[in-house]
Structure 1
Amino acid sequence: MVRLTDVVAVSAEVGATRSRLAKVAAIAGALRLAEDADEAKAVVAFLSGAIQQGRIGAGWRTLVELPAPAPEPTLAVADVDAAFDRLVDTRGAGSVGRRAEIIAGLFGAATAAEQRFLRALITGELRQGALEGVMLDAVAKAADVPGEAVRRAFMLSGRLPETAALALAGGVDALTAVRLEPGRPVRPMLASPGTSVAAAIADLSPCLVEYKLDGARIQVHKVDDEIRVFTRTLREITDSVPELVELVRGLPCHTVVLDGETLALSDDGRPRPFQETQSRFGSTTEEQVRALLLRPYFFDCLHLDGVDLIDQPLRARNEALNRAVGPHVIPGAIDPTPEEAEAVGAAALAAGHEGVMVKDLDSAYQAGRRGKAWQKVKPVHTLDLVVIGAEWGHGRRSGFLSNLHLGARDPDGGPPIMVGKTFKGLTDELLRWQTTEFPKYQRDRDDWAVYLRPELVVEIALDGVQASTRYPGGVALRFARVVRYRPDKQAADADTITDVRGLLPVAQG
């Protein structure tokens, strides 16, 4: 049996250390205490800062008046998970009162430390939760299985608690039995920043060079006439994009899993602003759909008519992609010369797109991974960073939250690592938005600034990076300016401090 107090202690230990090995060891120790699959899944969820049941009908308002804490720990993880089940199942007349009773009973049995943990867990405020990479390593350690087997099963299933339960109960055999399943979303493969087209080609040749679109990532699954469309965070948006559903339904295949982008085009064929494309994902009426039609551009095929392609090289997946979607393949060139690759980049920019993607033709699809096999090259460097604070403005910006504190993701699971500040690129509209929205993410404040929980991702353009002792990561951004906020991305999708350091000039690297 795993006691809640043990999970609370491990969570605190994870939050108190920057050592990835220490985090992994602490979590693995807790997982080994689990006696069955349900208990293991709950431990993984709690230590990841999540609740398996999702929305349980409880929030800050329901946690204002709570009973005094218990003097000694008695709660088991299974007790808490069962209470969450009851909260989800409580509906109908009188449900508000019954939920209040369940919450009071749960918190009344919790110590002061457990109450703080439960409050943070329920409200989504648990910030010392383990990141996916750390949790996957901990699962592998606890189950004594190869980390790659755990990561592969997770990326194909998209469900971390279930993956942990499989590893602990069935070992490698259970993990390798997980297969790509059309209709169930796969964690998307991600790209790393590249310095130039020439450098990326030299690094990845033979390669595929294709347009880098300023669109929204989509993953599309077709099983006969049943179509499902997911965002990069695996949120289903099928009902909001009927034109994409209709197009995919007409493709000449029975089953297919496609990776791609979608965007809205202006009358002249140039891409409309990203925010307009993103707004369609919440559309529900025929009028909204007609007002802004989306067009898909597919760049990968993970499954086609009963054949899984995820482990096949990109060259084979690209051939399958062309058979499946024909004219809807993203523009590009296979194994181009440096001159041909530069021409693809020039054509992409002339059409209003961001630049190019350069991809290793011999690489497998590394679901959920950000590796060097895919590199994005733009004429201006951009990074997706986490907003960790904002300073109050001066002069005409008085009264507005302005100068942003920017953090890169710590690949070892620690808090974002600060790499710079900027107030450049902030329009009056963004200043007003920041001043209204940032307090909702506040974790602390002083007379000069508001410090935020690491949740908001912003795209930053920069002229490069330089070595610096000013910030803890040893690097600082040069001439950083705001491009846009990325509501389609979570903090776990942000670029890492390793990505930022990779932009250092060679002499400084």
Structure 2
Amino acid sequence: MDFSTLVEIYEKLEKTTSRLEMTSIVSEFLSTVPDDKLPVILLFLMGRVFPIWSDKELGVGSKLVIKAISNVSGIPEFRIEDKIRETGDTGLAAESLLVKKVQTTLFQEKLTVEKVHHNLEKLASVEGKGAQDKKISYITELLSFAEPVEAKYIIRLILEELRLGVGEGIVRDAIARAFNVDAKLVERAYSLISDIGEVAKIAKNEGNEGLKKAKIIPGRPIEVMLAQKVENVSEALKKLGIAAFEIKYDGARLQIHKYNNVVELFTRRLENVTRQFPEVVKYAEKNIKANSAIVEGEMVAIISKENRHPRPFQDLSKRIKRKYNIEEMIEKIPVEVNLFDIVYYNGKQLIDEKFNERRKILRKIINETNLFRLSDQLVTDDAKKAEEFYERALDLGHEGVMAKNLDAPYQPGSRVGYMYKIKPIMETLDLVIVGATWGEGRRAHWLGSYLLAVRDPDTGDFLTIGRMATGFTDDQLKEMTSILKPLITEQIGKEVKLKPKIVVEVGYEEIQRSPTYESGYALRFPRLIRIRDDKQVKDADTLQRIEEILRGS
């Protein structure tokens, strides 16, 4: 498929903010796309190169892109930087500057979607000596083939700055309309197989019946079921009657997939962390008594193998991020796994089974050890006993408790009323950092004053809601800068725009209406609670959540 065909769709989408019109544009286009092109086309429409669970990264910042633009246009890098500052958009700057490009191929062919995808795949695979030069050459090749308007979107794809407003909600509805299927079945299938291209092919070729048959695939992470919040155990019992209360561990959600003599570990973000936790792989190999299973639990960093008191979440975060010296980290920051659910067992999908039945199967197949065990659980309808269990969880250093419906199925990706979380701390928000400001004086080399945003689940856009600026130590500013600096896409003066990658848990005094920020609201005195390495940006709180808090619901 010619890349120009996709660019025509990009251009149409960029001219509208109407959700219905976007859905119509995408659905009409999808109905013309061949089966084998659907996976790449859908990713490109959402501004992605790889599925959300893939551990591949392009690893390209604005500096490499500027060098590639310079190579093709013959324009000095400083002039390109000036143009980016002028337009506020690297893609627009590229489009303008490449009108009179000097570097073209001798017999120039039309750029194809396949060629763009091939070169971007190559970008992700390049490493070692000379990697930067190779990456520049792959980008330069694409830009030399591209028409100026095509270059605009290639640059935006590379920098993950497509900004067309096509999120998962629009794609879901577009697939439903294009292939005349139920949008809820599209969503369900996607939550199970985590590949929107595969879901689209099933919808096109097998319709609703095919989507209903979508099954969990071991080795492919599923969207986890989410909890709603209640104020206390009495409210949970009022909603559930008899309930299973479990400790809400202060750790990271973990899916363990065991199949074909392989064990793989995935976080709530669907990130593969098998390599970072070889000891957990050994625990699972030895203590999951099944040929194939997908079990779920909470992984917690602990003081020592003898002292199971939880460490701060940031210690676990260090383990998740670490790509080298793994054995050293195993000794420094030991972990335990507390299992609480199972969704797949010996070839059978269990999500439609009642929680109580799933827990029985889990109990049957797990050989418990001190560090690989079932989560502590109390089944009761007695508020006093539940309150005692809750207080014990807090005394152990954990966040609180979960209250679960014993008869509920497992609903991937949904925050349904099947389980509730009970925590003592004031309401917090999970927000995305989309911008920052370079400091002054001795803090001139650190990023601060972080621009926070909530998510629009339909469009995938991030709507600003405030700045988090005070209360940081020098060490915290240094750490935040090391995390955020590689995510800078544009800089105007001291202000930088960032790829929306980092989720932070934020406390605040109150939420006020405000025309200053895109969400229409502003946080008063926002403060950092912690970086949420266990969450994807699509798990961040939404505008709807802000409005629910204001309504008191």
TM norm. shorter chain > 0.5? yes
| Count of aligned pairs | 505
Task: Please give the alpha-carbon distance, in whole angstroms, between the structure 2 residues aligned to 1:259 and 1:230.
Answer: 10
Equivalences for residues 198-213 of structure 1 within 5 A? 198-213=234-249
Does the CA-based 8 Å contact 1:386-1:455 persist in structure 2?
yes
Alpha-carbon distance between aligned partners in 2 of 1:364 and 1:484, rounded to the nearest angstrom: 32
Which of 386, 390, 396 is residue 341 of structure 1 equivalent to?
386
Letter of the 1:287 partner, please give it. E
Instruction: Give the Cα separation in 2 of the matches to 1:90 and 1:406.
Output: 33
Task: Pick closer, same or farther for the CA change 1:442–1:252 going to 2, 3 Å.
Answer: closer
Partner of residue 526, structure 2: 480
Give yes or no for contact 2:228–2:416 (8 Å, CA) kept in 1. yes
Deviates more, 1:425-434 or 1:150-159: 425-434
- Contact kept, 8 Å, 2:166 with 2:458, in 1: the verdict is no
Normalising by structure 2, what TM-score? 0.79
Instruction: Report the CA distance shift for 1:85/1:224 in structure 2 as closer, same or farther (over 3 A).
Output: closer
* Contact 1:47–1:129 (8 Å) recurs in 2: no
Aligned to 2:343: 302
State the 1:353 CA deviation: 0.9
Which residue identity does 1:295 align to in structure 2? E
DSSP-derived class of the 1:503 partner: helix
Is 2:498 aligned against 1:452? Answer: yes
Match of 1:66 in 2: 72
Q: In the superposition, relative to structure 1, how do residues 427 and 197 fare at CA in structure 2: closer, same or farther (>3 Å)?
A: farther
Cα distance in 2 for residues equivalent to 1:284 and 1:17: 49
- Check whether the contact 1:264–1:294 (CA below 8 A) recurs between aligned residues: yes
Partner of 1:42: 40
Aligned to 1:263: 300
Deviations for 1:321-364, whole angstroms, at most 9, x for unmatched residues?
Answer: 22233652212322433333322221111111112223333332
**Cα-to-partner distance string for 1:362-383 (whole Å, 9 max, x where unaligned):** 3322222334433333211222
**AA at the equivalent of 1:277:** L
Q: For structure 2, which runs of at least 5 residues remain unmatched after alignment? A: 74-97, 102-107
**Residue of structure 2 equivalent to 1:431:** 477
Return the match for 2:250 from 198, 214, 217. 214
Alignment check: 8 A CA contact 2:165 2:460 kept: no
- Offset, 1:221: 1.4
Determine if the alignment matches structure 1 residue 153 to structure 2 residue 194: no
Distance 1:28 1:420, change over 3 A: same
Aligned-partner Cα distance in 2 for 1:476–1:409: 14
Distance apart, 1:459 and its partner CA: 0.9
Alpha-carbon distance in 2 for matches of 1:79, 1:224: 35
Matched to 1:47, the amino acid is L
Aligned CA RMSD, in angstroms, stands at 3.6
Per-residue deviation, 1:314: 2.1
**SS across alignment from 1:426:** coil
Normalising to structure 1: TM-score of the pair? Answer: 0.86
Q: Distance in 1 between matches of 2:337 and 2:405?
A: 23
Partner of 2:411: helix, strand, or coil? Answer: coil
Gap runs ≥5 in structure 1: none
| Structure 1 residue 313, shift from structure 2 partner | 2.6
Q: Is the 8 A contact 2:289 2:367 kept in 1?
A: no
> Which residue of the partner structure matches residue 323 of structure 1?
364
Residue correspondence of structure 1 range 91-490 to structure 2 within 5 A: 104=140, 106-128=142-164, 130-223=166-259, 225-249=261-285, 250-267=287-304, 268-281=307-320, 282=322, 284-325=325-366, 327=368, 328-380=373-425, 381-391=427-437, 400-435=446-481, 437-444=483-490, 449-462=495-508, 465=511, 471-477=517-523, 479-490=525-536
Q: CA deviation at 1:16?
A: 5.6
| Residue pair 1:358, 1:376 contacting (<8 A) in 2 also | yes
Cα deviation, residue 449, structure 1: 4.2
Q: Secondary structure at the match of 2:295?
A: strand
Q: Establish whether residue 26 from structure 1 lines up as the match of residue 25 from structure 2.
A: yes
1: distance between equivalents of 2:526 and 2:60? 40
Report the AA paired with residue 360 of structure 2: E
Residue by residue, what CA displacement relative to the aligned partner does 1:259-288 show, whole Å, maximum 9, x if unpaired? 111112115431012122222233554333
Distance 1:32 1:158 in 2: 21
Report the identity percentage. 32
